[in-house]
Structure 1
Amino acid sequence: MLKYQFGQKIGEGTFAQVYIGACNDEQVAIKVLQKESLKTDRDKFRVNKEIELLNKVNHPNIVKMKEIVEDEESIYLITEYVSGGELFDYIVEQQRLSNGEARHVIKQLVNAIEYLHGLGIIHRDLKPENILMRDNGDICLIDFGLSMEVTRGQLLVTPCGSPCYAAPEMLEGKNYDGTKTDIWSCGVILYAMLCGYLPFDEENTQDLYDKIKLCQYTIPNSLHKDAKDLISRILTYEDQRINIEQIKVHPFFLDDNEEENINELSIEQIEQPIQDQEDLEDQIQQASFIQSQHQEEETIEYIQPILEVQNRPRGHTLKRESIMNELEVNINTIQPKNKFELPLQSKEKKNLKTIEEAFQIIQESSRQKDRKVTEEQQQSQISLAYKPAMKINTNKPYTKIKYVQTIRYRY
């Protein structure tokens, strides 16, 4: 029986906490989901779906599942440990990434998404917080809690994910193509890497949704023309948005190795007389000088004006995004014919001017209810540092999770 030792806490999500763990001198990541926090059938469905999908995928840029462990109180997802931290933190530290770094990351992200879409899997929560960095600069995609499996051509109906990365068609309450909403999120991530802030960032949720639905954003002039063109082709309306195949042949995705090959001599060139080789070397030096001048001009034109990035649109920043199980977007598009009414305790009825006001009351009531935790529940919560050895399930362990039932779910 394997025994995992818990280390420091490295992350926290809607239903879980993530810790560094160790087993036989191997570091792992342990995602702890307490069963009592899975209050609804939808929560249980999400956990089952994440476990199911992680057991299906095998890609160098997607986190690898190692074990699934459970006891009476909790479920433990044991995955590989990626030590480089979040892409989010790296962008904040660097302020923004160079074209080469951003290209390297977005290439791997697009390849991972293409792989998932080939399996019929839509991620639905792509953002820098869900992309980890390996020590060699490669990326690792995590968190499949909102992912969904679809058949070819099937549309999804539930608007979910992180608001600043949500596509316009999702916010309009339409049935949407999940492959295209994932591509939109990749475009937002590319923008964030190159600019250091988000293209859509408003304190007021209604204003945020309105700008996303209108594709209303600005691209700094300091970005390279190829980067600006690619962003504009991704962050656009669904019927105009390019697909993965078109992204992969876009000029911004061209390999940087072409510049390195300039100084390499072919066999024919090596066998030429010395005088010819000297002439060739002169040509190579001249070409290198011209290229260096071009690179210097390009640097001055596109990278030097840091002030433009620092003078970002007011209020725009790169902030952490919390997922929403279901984006509350319908209230923004529905125009009530009659006043919305809620029964009060005094058996009187109060007329509310808008559905938004009614929703705020319901939301606050729900928050107050969630805060009511009995002392018995608090005492029953486990202390991970002193947790005894855990029972390990094998042979498709995700089917043995207690208290979790497969349900019929609206896509």
Structure 2
Amino acid sequence: CIMGKLSSAYRQLTEGVSQLPEPFDSQYHCGALLGSGGFGSVFSGQRLCDGLQVAIKQISRDRVQQWARLPGEVGPVPMEIALLQRLVEVGGHASVVRMLDWFEVEGRGFLLVLERPPHGQDLFDFITERGALPERLALRFFRQIVEGLRFLHAHGVVHRDIKDENIVVDTRTLDVKIIDFGSGAPLKETPYSEFEGTRVYSPPEWIVSQSYEAVPLTVWSLGVLLFDMVCGDIPFERDQDIVGAAPVFTRRVSKECQSLIRWCLSYRPEERPTLEEILSHPWMEGGEAEEEEHSSLPNQSL
């Protein structure tokens, strides 16, 4: 059988109990492939003790770009595990995916067991099916994402790859979760000189000088994401367009929403808002977004 390693959080729960770590296969069933990329592969899964639906992310050791140390662990673990473990230990956040467990499996690398919304769909597919979103719905999603990012930053984590593919929407509740911390890093105030995120979401300073700071990077990517939600596609495809930092709105978008997007997409990093300033922008303060009726969601015309 495949021997797994229980997370340190699980060990703490079972401290004082005389037992060996159970193998991965005795605790989880690994199902169909959901997606794959440079980060690894993600499979559907089920926790055997209670039938809970989960996502299982497999990361090969040779694909790990950053390593970290966890207390009580003999060897290093992928930075993604260390960051998600940190978030678990501070209680987590409703808009951030939670890691339930992790294992190191000989010959298979690392297996991360993650929560999976029962009616989840990534925001890229959500927009592809429905077209540009009504501003009220975009606001509902955007507020949750910004609050989730505030939580990450408050606990020393920067995601570095905010995009529609890394936001999962529960299509019944319209709640969202930020996923995929494969490009994440510990938050620091000094500039970063490496970037593993998505280029069309990267800011001008990275294109020009291969350097950026955590908050301006995050806010730029939020500007791209909000444009994507209300216009149905991202504003920039080429490096020269990113450096131009002049989004052209292809749909009717309110002046307040355009104002927020343009502020987030300011060329100079120091001129972009903070996450707190985003939340206090007039478009964001236009009242709590009400839940859209399901009948208004499917297949909105382009």
**Are 1:95 and 1:196, in contact at CA under 8 Å, matched by a contact in 2?**
yes
Distance 2:287 2:39 in 1: 42
Match of 2:11 in 1: none
Distance 1:124 1:100 in 2: 26
Given the alignment, which residue of 220, 231, 248 partners 2:279? 248
Unaligned runs of 5+ in 1: 202-207, 260-305, 311-411
1:142 aligns with 2:165: no
Distance 2:227 2:195 in 1: 22
CA separation of 1:143/1:221 partners in 2, compared to 1, >3 Å: closer, same or farther? closer
Structure having the higher helix fraction is 1
**Are 2:158 and 2:187, in contact at CA under 8 Å, matched by a contact in 1?**
yes
Deviations 1:348-391 (A, max 9, x none): xxxxxxxxxxxxxxxxxxxxxxxxxxxxxxxxxxxxxxxxxxxx
Match of 1:22 in 2: 46
Match of 2:190 in 1: 154
**Which TM-score applies when normalising by structure 2?**
0.77
Unaligned runs of 5+ in 2: 1-21, 69-75, 291-300
**Are 2:39 and 2:182, in contact at CA under 8 Å, matched by a contact in 1?**
no
- Structure 1 counterpart of 2:55, which letter? A
Distance 2:82 2:276 in 1: 28
CA separation of 1:160/1:213 partners in 2, compared to 1, >3 Å: closer, same or farther? farther
Distance 1:52 1:81 in 2: 20
Q: Secondary structure at the match of 1:124?
A: coil
Q: Secondary structure at the match of 2:78?
A: helix
How far did 1:47 drift?
A: 6.2
**Are 1:233 and 1:242, in contact at CA under 8 Å, matched by a contact in 2?**
yes
CA RMSD of aligned residues (A): 2.1
Q: Secondary structure at the match of 1:70?
A: strand
Match of 1:4 in 2: 28
Of the structure 1 ranges 129-138 and 45-54, higher mean CA displacement relative to structure 2 is found in 45-54
Match of 2:257 in 1: 227
Distance 1:164 1:185 in 2: 9
**Which TM-score applies when normalising by structure 1?**
0.58
**Are 2:143 and 2:284, in contact at CA under 8 Å, matched by a contact in 1?**
yes
Match of 1:108 in 2: 144
Larger radius of gyration: 1
Sequence identity (%): 30
Superposed counterparts of 1:255-334, under 5 Å: 255-256=286-287
How far did 1:113 drift?
A: 1.0
- Structure 2 counterpart of 1:105, which letter? F
How far did 1:256 drift?
A: 3.4
- Structure 2 counterpart of 1:28, which letter? V
Distance 2:199 2:86 in 1: 28
**Are 2:122 and 2:164, in contact at CA under 8 Å, matched by a contact in 1?**
yes
How far did 1:257 drift?
A: 5.1
Distance 2:94 2:225 in 1: 20
Distance 2:77 2:39 in 1: 9
Match of 2:167 in 1: 131
**Are 1:28 and 1:80, in contact at CA under 8 Å, matched by a contact in 2?**
yes
Aligned length: 251
Given the alignment, which residue of 135, 146, 162 partners 1:99? 135
